[in-house]
Amino acid sequence: MRVLIVGSGGREHALAWALARSPLLGELHAAPGNPGIGTLARLHPVPVSDLEGLTRLAAELDTDLVVIGPEAPLVAGLADRMAAAGIAAFGPSAAAAQLEGSKAFAKTVMATAGVPTARFAVCDTVSAAHAAIAEADGDVVVKADGLAAGKGVVVCSSTAEAHAAVAAALVDDRFGVAGHRVLIEERLEGEELSLLALCDGEHVMPLAPARDFKRAGDDDSGPNTGGMGSISPVPGIDADVVADIVAQVHRPVVNELARLGSPFRGCLYAGLIMTADGPRVIEFNVRFGDPETQVILPRTGGDLLALLARAAGSSLAGCEAEPAEAACVSVVVAARGYPDAPELGDPIAGVDAAEEIEGVTIFHAGTAQGEAGLQTAGGRVLNVTAVGPDFDTARRRAYAGVDAVRIAGSHHRSDIGRAAAAAERVHA
């Protein structure tokens, strides 16, 4: 099969890495890709925002399957364009992608389908938002309705903070039209969990549970980021819990979208908080998570290309993810100044040495090939990922990999997988 991956981050590198292992793969292409992906695929300089260019490229290459990584082109209708051109694509239609493109739409679907989620109000005006904040039982979370590149959510600890978050979206126009409508949501307590599932419009095939770490600093201190690391599996989330969440969340949502005439084909990502009253959805994504994919795929056995092709074009009936490695830990090495003002263009050294460590794979997230060699080209530069028979081993290997990498001024969290390793020791 000739496959084209759309995107340029660590998620797409992990997808390329997993697809490259498939016996079905003939040629792998990526647009625009990155230097890491370039070791596995032929790169084409078409940006993810150029829907027409991507569709033309897929047709010219006579692509058998397009795998769409990021949310923006999905919400903009890239899968629909591919379908119109007769090209199979993994990723939902624009109509189904509204699950991520509009939080208000997602809440409506969940209400109709009876999916447990945080209580909320949708507000278009400051006065309505203030009334919702006043009516809420405790603290709230203020969310921009539309796509805001992961920056549209403010978890508030006071009414003043909530009012400021509302003003940023509705008055100061911080997120453009994406923030002209906000959700005021109850602030939930509990452990977070990401449960991704492959869907063919009807069937749901859950992948390994994962957790990402969003704050910049150890012990969840510091500002929110796109994600500073991830682990899979998640302590306490066994096969029964996964089956229960799929039954309460993924299946009813897939059924409801089919009923609405927008069947969901692609990766349905449920962001959950495990409260004392059970799981509650805090967000849906309509694509693989970043950096969760980097720890899920090394733990997924079997043929990923066969599964994605089935999800896109036929049926996942009877498919199950085959378990592979026991534990996986991925640590993000971030550029100097990330997340506020990342400095780009710094040389990157030590990637080869890190990859010589047993179990370690490095996914490129924000790199570019400069004249003098590999250099930083994004805030999150590398995902140093390691598998192992347990979290202790995976974590030790991942951090040995981090130590082998040299980027001036870079930073990383030192606690990714620490709690999971401790939980494992308690159970041992």
> Which member of 28, 82, 88, 188 binds ligand AMP (CB under 6 A)?
188
Total residues interacting with ligand AMP, rule: CB under 6 A: 14
Give all strands of the β-sheet with 153-155 in edge-to-edge order: 120-123, 182-186, 140-144, 153-155
Angle at 167 between CA 146 and CA 151, to 5 degrees: 40
Ramachandran angles phi, psi of 59, nearest 5°: -70, -45
CA pair distance 192, 156, nearest whole angstrom: 17
Binding track, positions 206-245, relative to ligand AMP; x by CB under 6 A: --------x-------------------------------
Least distance from ligand AMP to the Cβ atom of residue 264, Å? 19
Q: Which is nearer to ligand AMP, 150 or 313 (CB)?
A: 150
**Is residue 141 part of the contact set for ligand AMP (CB under 6 A)?**
yes
Please identify, among the stretches 40-48, 163-171, 181-189, 311-319, the one whose residues bind ligand AMP according to the rule CB under 6 A.
Answer: 181-189
**Is residue 118 part of the contact set for ligand AMP (CB under 6 A)?**
yes
Q: Is 7 left (phi over 0), alpha (psi -120 to 50) or beta?
A: left
Least distance from ligand AMP to the Cβ atom of residue 192, Å? 6
Crossing angle of helices 159-170/126-135, nearest 10°? Answer: 160
Least distance from ligand AMP to the Cβ atom of residue 100, Å? 10
Burial 34-60 (b: 16+ CB within 10 A, else e): bbbbbebbebbebebebbeebbebbee
Q: Which is nearer to ligand AMP, 52 or 219 (CB)?
A: 219
Task: Give the start-end residues of each E strand in 27-178.
Answer: 27-32, 42-43, 65-68, 89-90, 120-123, 140-144, 153-155
**Is residue 187 part of the contact set for ligand AMP (CB under 6 A)?**
yes
> Which member of 206, 271, 291, 359 binds ligand AMP (CB under 6 A)?
271
**Is residue 185 part of the contact set for ligand AMP (CB under 6 A)?**
yes
Binding track, positions 146-175, relative to ligand AMP; x by CB under 6 A: ----x--x-x--------------------
Q: Which is nearer to ligand AMP, 237 or 316 (CB)?
A: 237
Residue with tokens 């100061």: 172
CA pair distance 235, 209, nearest whole angstrom: 9
User: Cβ-count burial of 247 within 10 angstroms (0-12 exposed, 13-18 middle, 19+ buried)?
Assistant: exposed
Q: Can you give the binding site for ligand AMP, defined by CB under 6 A?
A: 118, 141, 150, 153, 155, 185, 187-188, 192, 214, 271, 273, 282-283
